[in-house]
Amino acid sequence: MSYTLAQLRGLVAVAEEGHFGRAAERLWMTQPPLSRRIKKLEEEVGVDLFERTPHAVVLTPAGRTFLGEARKILSLADSAPLLAKRVATGDAGTIRIGFTAMSALSVLGSWISVAASDLPQVDIQLFELVTRLQVDALLAGGIDVGLARGVPLSDILAAKLIHSERLMLAAPIGHPLLALDRAVTLRDVTAYDVVTYSPTESAYLYQLVVSAFGRFKTQPRYVQYVQQVNSVVATVNAGLGVALVPQTASALQLGNVEFRDVDDVQDFPVEVHCIWRRSHDNPALAAFLRRLDIEAEDEPALA
């Protein structure tokens, strides 16, 4: 079955006017070509769409049903050029965002607010992934942009530092470190069991913590290696040790955890980078990054 938009517009005009002559005037044509157009449409559909009388035409039951579908098709056809223009300019489309658990608390909310206010026709899809999996997804085309702890030096991936925060101590309620009448130091922490990060799944935070302790030539007792920051806090909540966590983690209000500043970690900030493919062809992503005032750094951050 095939029919033209002109035939569908003729159907709508005749149905709304109830008269071939008035419908023809509305379409800036004469009546005979319009009558032939509707007859041809009925032949294509295989049923009568109108009941014809000497003074008027009325839709048949089949015609009433077909009219509703014709209006939908015409609406889509009329909106298609505008939608194409919106997609081309980035005002419509899809952006797939990868994010880590902690970036959801520190950055992701503001990103979603910008998209909702400035790009309401853009569909935002969210994927919680550790940094390593975000890089894999970007390279494979599975996501468009990521919020990651660090990225490998690459000609393929662009990066921009967008958030930085300090490390804090997370300790179970009643822990001796919480009772100190002075600021906690890394040397204080090494006297107790420490929960830390997986060296493979959370390499960025693992290396950051190891480097912080190593700078002061201290070596804590690592008792657990956990993948996600929220899982580290949950392990501390269970009483298995203390941990160094990003400041954002203090928003995780668990019943048996308190957070304290650590005196000598200022030189070891926890950073979040926006990462994306340099050669992407997504106009919506380009528009989104412009609104966030994000441009690629000369060199991406090292993981």
The token duo for 271 is 């950073």
Residue 300 pLDDT = 44
pLDDT digits (tens, 9 = 90+) for 182-213: 999 999 999 999 999 999 888 899 999 999 99
pLDDT tens column, 134-186:
999 999 899 999 999 877 667 899 999 999 999 999 999 999 999 999 999 99
Domain covering 5-88 assigned CATH 3.40.50.300 in the classification: no
pLDDT tens-digit map of 20-42: 888 888 889 888 888 888 888 88
pLDDT (tens digit, 9 = 90+) per residue, 255-294? 999 999 999 898 899 999 999 999 888 989 999 999 999 8
Q: What pLDDT does 12 receive?
A: 87
Are the C-beta atoms of 204 and 131 separated by less than 8 Å? yes
Measured CA to CA, the distance from residue 7 to residue 51 in angstroms comes to 17
Give the pLDDT of residue 70: 85
Q: Is 97 helix (H, G, I), strand (E, B) or coil?
A: strand
Q: So what's the architecture of 90-164+271-291 in CATH?
A: 3-Layer(aba) Sandwich (3.40)
Q: Could you tell me the sign of the dihedral formed by the alpha carbons of 105, 296, 301, 91, in that order?
A: positive
Give the homologous superfamily in CATH for domain 167-268. Answer: Periplasmic binding protein-like II (3.40.190.10)
